[in-house]
Amino acid sequence: MFDLIVKGGTLPDGRVADIGIKGDRIAAVEPRLEAEAGEVIDAAGDLVSPPFVDPHFHMDATLSYGLPRVNASGTLLEGIGLWGELKEIMTLEGLKERALAYCDWAASMGLLHIRSHVDTCDDRLLGVQAMLEVREAVKPYIDLQLVAFPQDGVFRDPTAWDNTVRALDMGVDVVGGIPHFERTMAEGARSVTALCELAAERGLPVDLHCDETDDPMSRHVETLAMEAQRLGLQGRAVGSHLTSMHSMDNYYVSKLLPLMAEAGLAAIPNPLINIVLQGRHDSFPKRRGMTRVKELRAMGIPVAFGQDCVLDPWYSLGTADMLDVAFMGLHVAQMTHPEEMRACFSMVTEESAKVIGLEGYGLAPGCAASLVVLDAADPVDALRLRPARLAVVAKGKVVARSPRADAALSLLGRPGSVRRRRPVPGRA
Ligand SMILES: [Zn+2]
């Protein structure tokens, strides 16, 4: 007897299976489960995936677009300035309300794991307080990891170091930073060292906004790799963004990639944001600003795609759909081979889960009973369609359902409805 069976779905690896759930755990994954269940979801012909994972987000800023004004230049730097204005006027209740509204969107899209940076450059630590409360509130359906993020520079802002330490004391999970925003390259490198030492002392992961610039000489990822190795942080150190790698000298990159691999670093590009914020100081040709995804992966460096922003001072769009993120990543990185497209799907699901160190994630007995049923036949078609989430199960409970997006047709001699699935090859 199961509490819930998801019947006949196609898993991302192509297997067709029934998934039996007891309580908040997956109890069985078999071609055919002959057992009673409290509830059955018919997923025949549909893709059943483990939940989407966003490894890089800013939940304290989300859904604030237009408060108190919009970003006129569209640059990262104006976004940071605008966020500074917003911080002056925000309230604990407002922060929580926006974050919880975003988590509703996320749950509806099957996005059930989020690593969010939270600004620690605020002596009141209002954002930290709010996000800790939100982390508790959404625990039944979303696992929220928090990164202590000194947005204005852990050294550049006079109280940021103490506030970052305080945020960790309050229960924030990961050490963050922004070395390219410190006053000089030397200060940036010093901040990488100090933050990695802080992570090592506390046994925490470290995830730095690193080299989010078009400056080919911004090379803090090199210091991050060295410190990760020196301090034994292999496997729990992440460089987020790494956009300067797009512009770096090719010879230098040929030295850098093996250093990153040796240090066990992972990379988190944020395709929607990188493509929209970088290259703003260029005329033509205009740089695309996303890091070297294929080259990183070829070196065995884990890469996960992050969403970064939804309706905030840096980005005026966004939907909580990680397939939008992977779709943009696929295009900008030109990952069009079938294996590369499947990798893009994994970079917002399984590979992303590994990058942020999730345990009990996946579609196997013993894993958390969280999954999403998509109106698509397989991961590549899911990327192409970015389809409806027919059902979302979080920790054993059905938390969202959506109808299929079939269109009714009135065309003489043609079918009465259409669902834009990829056709099965027939006549040549
Ligand atoms: Zn970010």
CA gap 365, 29 in Å, rounded: 6
Contacts 24+ apart (CB under 8 A), 400-409: 400/107, 400/108, 400/110, 402/108, 404/375, 405/375
Taking the C-alpha atoms of residue 183 and residue 425, their distance in angstroms, rounded to an integer, is: 58
How far apart are alpha carbons 224 and 81 in whole angstroms?
26
Question: CA quadruple 83, 62, 289, 262: dihedral positive or negative?
Answer: positive
Residue 250 Cα to ligand 1 middle (Å): 26
- Ligand 1 center–CA 210 separation, angstroms: 10
* 3 state DSSP class of 39: strand
pLDDT for residue 424? 77
pTM of structure:
0.97
CA of 307 to the centre of ligand 1 (A): 9
- Report pLDDT for 428: 80
What's the confidence (pLDDT) of residue 249?
97
Q: Are 361 and 113 in contact (CB under 8 A)?
A: yes
CA distance linking residue 384 with residue 374, whole number of Å: 12
**Distance from residue 268's CA to the centre of ligand 1 (Å):** 10
* 5 closest CA partner among 47, 16, 17, 15: 17
The Å distance, Cα 278 to ligand 1 centre, comes to 13
Q: How many CB atoms neighbour CB 356 within 10 A?
A: 27
Mind listing the pLDDT tens digit of every residue in the chain (428 residues)? 999 999 999 999 999 999 999 999 999 999 999 999 999 999 999 999 999 999 999 999 999 999 989 999 988 889 999 999 998 899 999 999 999 999 999 999 999 999 999 999 999 999 999 999 999 999 999 999 999 999 999 999 999 999 999 999 999 999 999 999 999 999 999 999 999 999 999 999 999 999 999 999 999 999 999 999 999 999 999 999 999 999 999 999 999 999 999 999 999 999 999 999 999 999 999 999 999 999 999 999 999 999 999 999 999 999 999 999 999 999 999 999 999 999 999 999 999 999 999 999 999 999 999 999 999 999 999 999 999 999 999 999 999 999 998 999 999 999 999 999 988 777 88
pLDDT score, position 298: 98
For residues 5 and 230, what is the distance between their CA atoms, to the nearest angstrom? 48
Burial 57-82 (b: 16+ CB within 10 A, else e): bbbbbbbbbebeeebeeeebebbbeb
Distance CA(244)–CA(110), nearest Å, equals 32
CB contact at 8 A, 143 and 112: yes
Q: What's the pLDDT score for residue 70?
A: 92
Predicted pLDDT at 188: 98
Q: Give me ligand 1 centre to Cα 388, in Å.
A: 27
The residues pairing with 39 across neighbouring beta strands, listed in sequence order, are: 4
Report DSSP letters for 211-243, one per residue. Answer: --SS-TT--HHHHHHHHHHHTT-TTSEEEEE-T
Burial of 171 (0-12, 13-18, 19+ CB in 10 A): exposed
Residues 309, 324 contacting (CB under 8 angstroms)? no
Instruction: State which amino acid sits at residue 5.
Output: I
Ligand 1 center to 283 CA (angstroms): 25
In SS3 terms, 347-396 reads as: CCCHHHHHHCCCCCCCCCCCCECCEEEECCCCHHHHHHHCCCEEEEEECC
Tell me which residues are annotated as active site.
212
Cα separations in angstroms, 116 against 54, 182, 183:
8, 21, 25
> In 90-200, where do the E strands start and end?
111-119, 143-149, 174-177
Distance 194 CA to ligand 1 centre (A): 20
Q: Which two tokens stand for residue 192?
A: 């990488």
